[in-house]
């Protein structure tokens, strides 16, 4: 994809449809890929947080989440076709999951939220396999067990809802030891699904 440099981060100029296709390709390639959904707040934060900025420039795809990102890109002269919101991208992948046989793990949010989001996913997308859930409050000492939990569940897609930049840093740090094909930091998505 064409990328646009916004505040030092290469954001892909993609439609939602292209983002879903890319995600599908990542899942099928089983290559431990990572997608970040960049809104203006994340891009601003990355100008001060070098670790976050480096991660965003190393992940497989950064999609333009938010009107601010789309506006900045258009302003810089590279038209961004549309906004690819993390929540919407996740719903498209969950919708495709039953037919594709993809297993999903929900990691993050307050205790109980991921369980509720799982029930919502099962109601909205019949046949979906939510391979596991884990809340997003933990200490360093818990991390080994969390990695094990995820690996036992063998998800194709790992959704991490730990907030920015914690989710990007956690996923990038642990991706090599995680038994999953695609990881996405999804912010408040599980909260919204849980209602």
Cα(55)–Cα(98) distance, integer angstroms: 31
User: Which region among 66-74, 87-95, 174-182, 183-191 touches ligand UDP (by CB under 6 A)?
Assistant: 183-191
Q: How many chain residues touch ligand UDP (CB under 6 A)?
A: 14
Tokens matching residue 57: 């420039």
Residues numbered 85-124 forming contacts with ligand UDP, rule: CB under 6 A? 108-110
Q: Is 188 in the site for ligand UDP (CB under 6 A)?
A: yes
What does the DSSP assignment read for the chain?
Answer: --EEEETTEEEE---HHHHHHHHHHHHHHTS-EEEEEE-HHHHHHHHH-HHHHHHHHHSSEEEE-SHHHHHHHHHTT--------HHHHHHHHHHHHHHHT-EEEEEESSTTHHHHHHHHHHHHSTT-EEEEEE-S---GGGHHHHHHHHHHH--SEEEEES-TTHHHHHHHHHGGG---SEEEE-TTHHHHHH-
Q: Is 169 in the site for ligand UDP (CB under 6 A)?
A: no
Minimum distance from CB of 8 to ligand UDP (Å)? 20
The residue at minimum Cβ distance from ligand UDP is: 136
Q: Which of 137, 148, 152, 173 binds ligand UDP (CB under 6 A)?
A: 137
**Closer residue to ligand UDP in complex, CB, 79/112:** 112
**Closer residue to ligand UDP in complex, CB, 20/117:** 117
Minimum distance from CB of 184 to ligand UDP (Å)? 12
Q: Is 136 in the site for ligand UDP (CB under 6 A)?
A: yes
Q: Is 191 in the site for ligand UDP (CB under 6 A)?
A: yes
**Closer residue to ligand UDP in complex, CB, 68/108:** 108
Q: Is 53 in the site for ligand UDP (CB under 6 A)?
A: no
Minimum distance from CB of 107 to ligand UDP (Å)? 8
**Buried-state track 165-192, b at ≥16 Cβ within 10 A, e below 16:** bebbbbbbebbeebbbbbbbbbbebbbb
Q: Is 164 in the site for ligand UDP (CB under 6 A)?
A: yes
Q: Interface residues with ligand UDP (CB under 6 A)?
A: 108-110, 136-137, 161-164, 166, 187-188, 190-191
């Amino acid at each position: 994809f064409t990328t646009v440099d916004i505040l030092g981060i290469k954001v892909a100029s993609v439609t939602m449809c292209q983002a879903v296709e890319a995600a599908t390709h990542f899942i099928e390639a089983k290559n431990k890929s990572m997608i970040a959904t960049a809104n203006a707040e994340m891009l601003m934060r990355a100008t001060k947080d070098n670790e976050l900025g480096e991660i965003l420039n190393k992940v497989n795809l950064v999609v333009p989440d938010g009107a601010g990102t789309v506006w900045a890109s258009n302003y810089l002269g590279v038209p961004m076709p549309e906004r690819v919101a993390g929540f919407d991208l996740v719903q498209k992948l969950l919708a495709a999951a039953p037919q594709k046989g993809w297993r999903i793990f929900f990691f993050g949010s307050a205790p109980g939220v991921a369980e509720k989001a799982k029930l919502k996913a099962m109601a909205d997308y019949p046949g979906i396999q939510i391979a596991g859930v884990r809340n997003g409050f933990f200490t360093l000492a818990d991390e080994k067990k969390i990695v094990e939990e995820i690996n036992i569940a063998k998800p194709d897609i790992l959704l991490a809802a730990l907030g920015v930049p914690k989710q990007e840093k956690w996923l990038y740090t642990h991706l090599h030891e995680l038994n999953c094909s695609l990881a996405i930091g999804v912010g408040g998505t599980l909260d919204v699904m849980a209602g």
